[in-house]
Structure 1
Amino acid sequence: MVLVSAVKDYINRMLQDISGMKVLILDSDTVSIVSVVYSQSELLQKEVFLVELVDSIAKSIEPMSHLKAIYFVRPTSRNIQHIKRQLANPRFGEYHLFFSNMLNNTQLHILADSDEHEAVHQVQEFYADFVAGDPYHFTLNIPANHMYMLPAVVDHSNLQHFCDRVVDGLAAICLALKRRPVIRYSRTSDVAKRIAQEAGKLMYQQESGLFDFRRTEISPMLLVIDRRDDPVTPLLNQWTYQAMVHELVGIQDNKVDLGNIGKFSKDQQEVVLSSEQDTFFKANMYENFGDIGMSIKRMVDDFQQVAKSNQNIQTIEDMAKFVDNYPEYRKMHGNVSKHVTLVTEMSKIVEERKLMVVSQTEQELACNGGQGAAFEAVTNLLNNESVSDIDRLRLVMLYALRYEKDSPVQLMQLFNKLASRSPKYKPGLVQFLLKQAGTDKRTGDLYGNRDLLNIARNMARGLKGVENVYTQHQPLLFQIMESITKGRLRDVDYPFVGNHFQQARPQEVVIFIVGGTTFEESRSVALQNATNSGIRFILGGSMVLNSKRFLKDLEEAQRITRAGTSVI
């Protein structure tokens, strides 16, 4: 529970130490940071009677001197200006200012000079500048996530802003965990190298005093890698519960919006999927889709037993007992309804898009060789009227990534067929993906066919057969964690920043994927941590991806690159 607990502890300290009625003022980033670890009812228990966004507060002039204002915002120039305007004419009785990251001296001076009415009671830095969706998985929710694909010559200022935000997030993670790590990065990625070097400069030079924690015998490691080292994982359909919900419906800050996929009552249109608040989800989030159906059936059976016992109210004592248990009964009813709805809707999508047939070919492309059979399978699916445009595009991309060097003629045939079958297909998008993440651009052994150990492992897996053909794929991250665990992560592929080398195997590793993580990868991390290898892994990224988001980022990067190239 390491990340969730760290953020929750910060918020507890904010709210517990200030007595009386409070208003909690957040920005668009911190509203996500708080919402994934704290429920509305928990905020009410801490006497928070109003939650407002900093932009909305700025427009209101109604005095509320009976309330104490708790600001929890990122230390941006925009937020500092908002607070400055508030302090010029204070609406609340007290102001308590908490920032999710480091303030600089200029910002502190602005706040001090603005507090002419002496309304500010405290200013503190609480390092929770990341969204802790799961115990070992965080995201920075960077809206312009496509920036990592752009060369500096095309969009220098926005790319710098992207890198700055990532460095801020990495600094907050390390400060929250009270660690100063050795830093490594993916050799072939300019953006990973830049972020790693800037993070190293911050932690070892500019703010070395802040990061000067009690030394451990073996330093922890921060490894910065690039999404383009493994473009396959975000292109695949998913068949484990959490990853599948994100792929087919979408998860944003542990919430699922069902409004787009069916007609539901208002209270059912948005549901929460949190391992912190939902024991069924916690137990089943990494399970296969087939097993989920059985688990939900057992949950429905249990609920029907409880419902039946509640119908047998004979005495006043029975009635009193039912009233006492009603909140739990209602919660159980809501949970059953939520999971049955999700699985029912996903089953419909799987059937409509023929995803079991599509996914089998995807897994073959990702995991097994055989170029001739793969070409035939992809061609057949491109001709299948039931296959959707997005699924056709993903299949061609997966084929292109696997066989870009082997079959240029057949690849061109697939490009032409895709363009004729899918009117929404953006010309050149597959070629742009190969330019961004083709075999010459990647660090690591994506298909496990360069390293002898990986070749042997793939052969063994092929001979044994796979328990589930739909979940046989393992992301590149799995190989990286295995290499770290065995002390075999190659310096030539993942160099160190500065002269901070590491001989021994680290006990704590933060892996950050520039360009975004997937729930398949967060599952790999959770399963790896459960093996008790002696290393605790934490995974983070600039965004949590599904295939739609990955393709959207690719399209946006392609558009800007074309525009930028034409200008240059």
Structure 2
Amino acid sequence: MVLVGAVRDYLNRMLNDIPGMKVLILDAQTVGIISVAMSQSELLQKEVFLVEKVDAQAKEAMGHLKAVTFLRPTVENIQHLKRHLNNARFGEYHLFFSNIIKKSYIQILADSDEHDLVQQVQEFYADYFAIDPFHFTLDLPANHVSMLPTVVDPHNSQQACDRMLDAIAAVFLSLKKRPVIRYERSSEIARRVAQDAARLMYEHEQGLFDFRRTEVAPLLLVVDRRDDPVTPLLNQWTYQAMVHELLGIQDNRVDLTKLPKVPKDLQEVVLSSQQDTFFKANMYENFGDLGANIKKLVDEFKVKAKSNQNIQSVQDMVKFVENYPEYRNQHGNVSKHVTMMTELSRIVDERQLMAVSQTEQELACNANQAVAFEAVLNLVNNEKAADIDRVRLVMLYALRFERESPQSVEQLISRLSARTSKHKAALVHTLLKQAGFDKRTGDLFGNRDLFNKARTLARGLKGVENVYTQHQPLLAQTIESIVRGRLRDIDYPFVGNHFQQGRPQDVVIFMVGGTTYEEARSVHLVNATQTGIRIFLGGTVVQNSTSFLNDLEEMQRVQKVERGSFASM
């Protein structure tokens, strides 16, 4: 529960130390930060009887309640707090901020507190969404900005960099660590975020980050999503990643309102490894094993339900009433997982994803150009194939063979244009421009050096347990290099005069442009099998193929506007 535990610890300290009935005042970001770490029933147990947004219109006064605010320390939130204090509705105010607050902001609040209602002002460093113990995200709006050159949209680019810096700082303050910092050489924005982080931790807030030294300093590595555009384009076949790919997960919640005949209590369900023991045990299981485990879950519930029906005495009735909340929770849990499994199976059949995914995996892991071309062409021409699957297949082919066979890439783009639209087909060129061979640092397809070629060949000779999960994200190679002390300085330089010898115990990898649940699974496997090292993964958003394609569309749109502006000058 490392990151989740850190956020929960802050929340417990915030709420347990203030006795009595409370109202919790949040902003748009801290609503999500709290919701992934603590359930509504837990908040109620801590005497939180009302939750409000800080920018909501003023309502009636409730002097019997104590206001607990948990906000990001932004200009907008300070102005909202100033309004709250000028027109106080609650008996007292306890102000908590999710990150470092400027002294000038504290002065503004002090000047606004004319009735001496503010009891305390504290910094609790929970400025990130801890969706799993070793995986965090920012839910960054307009994520495409983080994957564009800064000159294209300098204002929004600066805002994105500032938000990334805030989250990275909060994570290390939560962990009570100060790292050495490295970044991906080919990424301008990764370099910028890394350098900003170094200035904050080693200059501007040096005292705040002055934690006890370890023999080998922790590592912050800032990388770019564009270095591995393959992983977010692939269909997924493990539970958590598959749900996100086909249904979507937002703040550990799945929206099922669009599904036919879904009961009202299942229209939004929570998928949290902290709140759902079945999900925790099965979130990384593949689709086949998952089906068997859900069947076992149903069978176990049937046995319990049958025993509950056999009420023959007062003692039986008392026992049933005592166990009823647990029984009801188990009933809801079984219904939730059966409903999602049913819908996943329906989508797989409807979109013929078994055939599509097999071709995707071949493109990602093998290199027979002629066979790949025929397979992709057949699926592009397949009447039953979904447009999103056609686009993804051509993109994967283009990434694999852009240098080896550019003519065949153009042939597939032309065919894609005829089957979908010119706009969607043009996204392939956008992808190559943003994340093609010349833009990448890592050895994405294992064909740049003999070591990676040998490893890829060995994996192919051994075979894989499941043809649909044979792909390994580039991040897995990067982590392996870190664990072995082989991360190349020329590809991932250090910031400043810092250097690192030996294997760090704590590594935070931050991915500009977003992570995936497949990469989170790779991190989980390392943490579960490697002793003496903890890997944390964070990023601007959690991507699936739909969100990744949406980002490409936004990049395409912005670049068209930029070219139009340039042409009119």
Q: TM-score, normalised by structure 2?
A: 0.99
The residue aligned with 2:28 is: 28
Residues 7-18 of structure 1 aligned to structure 2 (within 5 Å): 7-18=7-18
The residue aligned with 1:165 is: 163
Deviation per CA, 1:404-439: give whole Å up to 9, x if none: 001111111101100000138434210110010001
Percent of aligned pairs with the same amino acid: 69
2:222 to 215, 221, 224: 224
The residue aligned with 1:63 is: 61
SS in structure 2 at match of 1:346: helix
Deviation per CA, 1:226-249: give whole Å up to 9, x if none: 000000000000000000000000
The residue aligned with 2:44 is: 44
The residue aligned with 2:231 is: 233
Deviation at 1:561, TM superposition (A): 1.3
CA RMSD across the alignment: 0.9
- Partners in 2 of 1:526 and 1:409 — Cα distance? 40
Deviation per CA, 1:251-307: give whole Å up to 9, x if none: 001000001232322211000000000000000000000000000010001000001
Deviation at 1:152, TM superposition (A): 2.1
Please say if 1:249 is aligned against 2:244.
no
- Partners in 2 of 1:323 and 1:491 — Cα distance? 63
Extract structure 1 runs of 4+ deviating beyond 6 A: none
SS in structure 2 at match of 1:426: helix
The residue aligned with 1:132 is: 130
- Partners in 2 of 1:427 and 1:367 — Cα distance? 23
Please say if 1:489 is aligned against 2:493.
no
- Partners in 1 of 2:148 and 2:442 — Cα distance? 21
The residue aligned with 2:190 is: 192
Deviation per CA, 1:104-156: give whole Å up to 9, x if none: 11111111111111110000000000000000000011011000222222211
Contact 1:404–1:411 under 8 Å retained in 2: yes
- Partners in 2 of 1:491 and 1:248 — Cα distance? 38
Give the partner amino acid of 1:144.
A
Residues 135-534 of structure 1 aligned to structure 2 (within 5 Å): 135-423=133-421, 425-534=423-532
Q: Which moved more, 1:427-436 or 1:73-82?
A: 427-436
Contact 1:154–1:565 under 8 Å retained in 2: no
Unaligned runs of 5+ in 2: none
Give the partner amino acid of 2:65.
L
- Partners in 2 of 1:566 and 1:183 — Cα distance? 39
- Partners in 1 of 2:52 and 2:16 — Cα distance? 19
- Partners in 1 of 2:484 and 2:5 — Cα distance? 29
Contact 2:66–2:90 under 8 Å retained in 1: yes
Deviation at 1:517, TM superposition (A): 0.3
SS in structure 2 at match of 1:263: coil
Give the partner amino acid of 1:372.
A
SS in structure 1 at match of 2:538: strand
- Partners in 1 of 2:206 and 2:104 — Cα distance? 19
Kindly tell me the number of residue pairs found equivalent between the two proteins. Answer: 566
Deviation at 1:533, TM superposition (A): 3.6
Give the partner amino acid of 2:144.
H
Contact 1:389–1:425 under 8 Å retained in 2: no
SS in structure 2 at match of 1:428: helix
- Partners in 2 of 1:176 and 1:422 — Cα distance? 48
- Partners in 2 of 1:3 and 1:317 — Cα distance? 44
SS in structure 1 at match of 2:378: helix
Contact 1:150–1:557 under 8 Å retained in 2: yes
